[in-house]
Amino acid sequence: MKTILKVTLMFAFVAFANTLFASGNLKVNIQPLSAEKAIVAISSLTESNLKIKVEDSRGLIVYYKEVTDPAGDYKKVFDFSDLEAGQYKLSVESDRLTAEREFEIKSWKIEVGDEKTVLEPYFGYNNGLLRCSYLNFPKENLTLNFYDQKQLLYTKEMGRSFNVNEALNISKLDKGTYTAVLSTKDKDYTYDVEIK
């Protein structure tokens, strides 16, 4: 039992250290120039592709671009003159990391909110154990659900903890395909498990 506990704690520590390091790899800044224009500056320590998206308050995408020739930093002047006054969200995705910034367009200025970092959870399955690790930067209420192809088999309210680590022993389940779902306020992350 001590060996299993040590392995689980080591797994949690390594996952936490790797994801914490990755969280500093992507930064998004919006610098208003006028009531209609702003500089969007994105810095990334990795040279991976960027997916840049602007959504309105209803979740409709008003701008989308993929940058496939990454150079670490990206900077562009955005002209928001065609957008109506209201709330918007700029999100940048790079690898498994997403940085978001909300901003509001008013008739006389652009107001920028705080940056929010979201890192996709880590799921892994080995020796009958399903593991999930997640850094809850926004401190949202989390729920972990586990399904077979027909019904919900397990659910757990994870709360608002920053560092979430969960391991489920699913070694006694029948052969088949199962799905783990970690739900945040805005998104569901799924992981399929094939038991043979």
> Is a pLDDT exceeding 50 seen at residue 106?
yes
Q: Which token pair is 157?
A: 């309210």
pLDDT digits (tens, 9 = 90+) for 85-94: 999 999 998 8
Express as a percent the part of the chain with pLDDT over 70.
86
- Look at the alpha carbons of 79, 83, 89, 95 in this order and tell me if their dihedral is positive or negative: negative
Does 21-118 match 121-195 in CATH topology? Answer: yes
> Is a pLDDT exceeding 50 seen at residue 159?
yes
* Residue 70: per-residue pLDDT: 64
pLDDT digits (tens, 9 = 90+) for 15-42: 444 444 444 578 899 999 998 999 999 8
Residue with tokens 């208003």: 32
* Residue 17: per-residue pLDDT: 44
Looking at CATH, the fold of the domain delimited by 21-118 is given as: Immunoglobulin-like (2.60.40)
Q: What is the pTM of this model?
A: 0.64
Please provide the average confidence, as pLDDT, over all residues in the chain. 84
> Is a pLDDT exceeding 60 seen at residue 181?
yes
Choose the CATH number for 121-195 among 1.10.10.10, 2.60.40.10, 2.30.110.10, 3.30.1520.10. 2.60.40.10
Where along the chain do its domains lie? 21-118, 121-195
- Report which of residues 121 and 1 the model is more confident about: 121
Q: Which token pair is 56?
A: 């309105």
Q: How far apart are CA 11 and CA 146, in angstroms?
A: 21
- Report which of residues 47 and 114 the model is more confident about: 114
* Eight-class DSSP state of 9: H
> Is a pLDDT exceeding 90 seen at residue 73?
no
